[in-house]
Amino acid sequence: VQLVESGGGLAQAGGSLRLSCAASGRTFSNYAMAWFRQAQGKEREFVAAVSRSGVRTSYANSVSGRFTISRDNAKNTVYLQMNSLKPEDTAIYYCAADFGGYIGSDSHRYEPWGQGTQVTVSS
């Protein structure tokens, strides 16, 4: 499966953005999906994940209650709705897939990955 993120950009603190990740090439509903992010000079970190059906989700503590992950299997797309943005949310955001259905935080379990989309939050 190939993954392409979109929807990044510049937002003010307290604002919102919605990221999208479009998948192609394989049956999208066979994959659990996740979002990770990497800030400049820092390691890549888990943000959120969603099960194949969309019923189960998991979130990093830092975004829980502010971000929502969802998916539309008919559109082969996973979303990340980001509300109440903070300057510390500034990073490149990546989507990733796992054929085994894993929705945890271990980045090594996910393959493939998208190319990333930049999110910048100004104070």
Residues 39-60: tens digit of each pLDDT? 999 999 999 999 999 999 999 9
Residue found under tokens 């980001």: 82
pLDDT category of residue 25 using cuts at 50, 70 and 90: confident
Angular region, 80: left φ>0, alpha ψ -120 to 50, beta rest: beta
Q: What local confidence, expressed as pLDDT, does residue 26 receive? A: 79
- pLDDT one-digit tens code per residue, 77-102: 999 999 999 999 999 999 999 999 99
Residue 116, amino acid: G
pLDDT number for residue 8: 97
pLDDT of residue 35: 98
Q: Are strands 117-122 and 45-50 parallel, antiparallel or unpaired?
A: unpaired
Contact 59, 74 (CB under 8 A): no
Number of H helices and E strands in the chain, helices first, is 0, 10
